[in-house]
Amino acid sequence: MPITLAFDVYGTLIDTQGVVSSLETMIPELAGRFSQTWREKQLEYAFRRGLMEKYENFGVCTLQALDYTCQHYGIPLSEAQRNDLLAGYSTLPAFDDVAAGLGQLRDANIELYAFSNGSRNAVDELLNNAGIRDFFQGVVSCDDINTFKPNPAVYSHFLKESNSSSEDAWLVSSNPFDVIGAISAGMRAAWVQRSSASVFDPWGIEPTVTIGGLDQLHEHLLRIA
């Protein structure tokens, strides 16, 4: 059976905590907490905009989440510092296991797509800078339909854009909300549990498989096939 894989980008392929090194030069005592809050608010703003049907692209969510985080911690970053942090979102690094894992899957002739809340141009730039864009047949962006994961419409959009069906398409994500969204939409899904401290939402909707890194995915797919 042919398999098509949809890879979440931010937090799954790309380490969003890569901004910590830049933050450490600005606010060394708060860098880790600041980065975590920024990421949490970025996702929260996407969820809220999706529910309210007040769409702005993911870059706007990222900017507004940064502004919130600055106010929350009372950090008066300069305009140049804010611009540097936002520009850093296009040069975030891939996780160490990503290139090897994608290489195994590509060599097995599995179709690979990047599937993201981010705009197509932003994701293309990010993946190119991380050196992994060539692994993918294409980028499918939720921006095309002006909403965000886990709206069921985005998973239908992925199936249409990748010319695949829910029976042969998998989502690969480290975000439990994304995994639950994909399974609820009829796809299968692999949860990338990068830390033993990560907890999957106890909704009674479980991932098809759980892996510790992308270099484990090919082996799991072989077992299921």
Residue 62: CATH number of its domain: 1.10.150.240
Angstrom distances, CA of residue 205 to CA of 178, 185, 195, 216 = 12, 12, 20, 22
Q: 5 and 111 in contact (C-beta within 8 Å)?
A: yes
Give residue 134's domain range.
4-14+92-224
Mean pLDDT of 139-154: 98
Of 31, 53, 88, which residue is a domain's last? Answer: 88
Vertex 172: Cα angle to 103 and 118 (nearest 5): 95
| pLDDT score of 223 | 83
Of 45, 64, 88, which residue is a domain's last? Answer: 88
Are 149 and 202 members of one domain?
Answer: yes
Sheet containing 138-141: which strands, arranged edge to edge? 138-141, 111-116, 4-7, 169-173, 188-192, 209-211
Q: At what angle do helices 58-73 and 79-88 cross, to 10 degrees?
A: 130
The predicted-structure confidence for 46-65, as pLDDT tens digits, reads as follows: 999 999 999 999 999 999 99
Are 52 and 107 members of one domain?
Answer: no
Please identify which of the residues 8, 15, 143, 215 carries the catalytic annotation. 8
In the chain, the number of structural domains is 2
The predicted-structure confidence for 81-99, as pLDDT tens digits, reads as follows: 999 999 998 999 999 999 9
Are 106 and 196 members of one domain?
Answer: yes
Are 163 and 212 members of one domain?
Answer: yes
Look at residue 140 and tell me whether its pLDDT is greater than 70.
yes
Are 80 and 151 members of one domain?
Answer: no
Mean pLDDT of 131-154: 98
| pLDDT score of 73 | 97
- Scan for tokens 């299968």, then name that residue: 188
Look at residue 225 and tell me whether its pLDDT is greater than 70.
no
Are 137 and 213 members of one domain?
Answer: yes
Are 126 and 206 members of one domain?
Answer: yes
Token code pair at residue 197:
């401290």
CA distance 13 to 192: 10
| pLDDT score of 5 | 98
Residue 24 burial (C-beta neighbours within 10 Å; 0-12, 13-18, 19+): middle
Q: 56 and 49 in contact (C-beta within 8 Å)?
A: yes
Are 65 and 152 members of one domain?
Answer: no
The predicted-structure confidence for 180-207, as pLDDT tens digits, reads as follows: 999 999 999 999 999 999 999 999 999 9
Are 149 and 206 members of one domain?
Answer: yes
The proportion of the chain whose per-residue pLDDT surpasses 90, expressed as a percent, equals 96
Mean pLDDT of 28-48: 96
Helix or strand (DSSP H, E) at 81: helix 79-88
Token code pair at residue 187:
């796809």
Are 84 and 135 members of one domain?
Answer: no
Active site residue 8: yes
Look at residue 158 and tell me whether its pLDDT is greater than 90.
yes
CA distance 45 to 105: 33
The CATH number linked to 176 is 3.40.50.1000
Ranking 17-21, 53-57, 130-134, 181-185 by mean pLDDT, the lowest is: 17-21
The proportion of the chain whose per-residue pLDDT surpasses 70, expressed as a percent, equals 99
Mean pLDDT of 201-218: 97
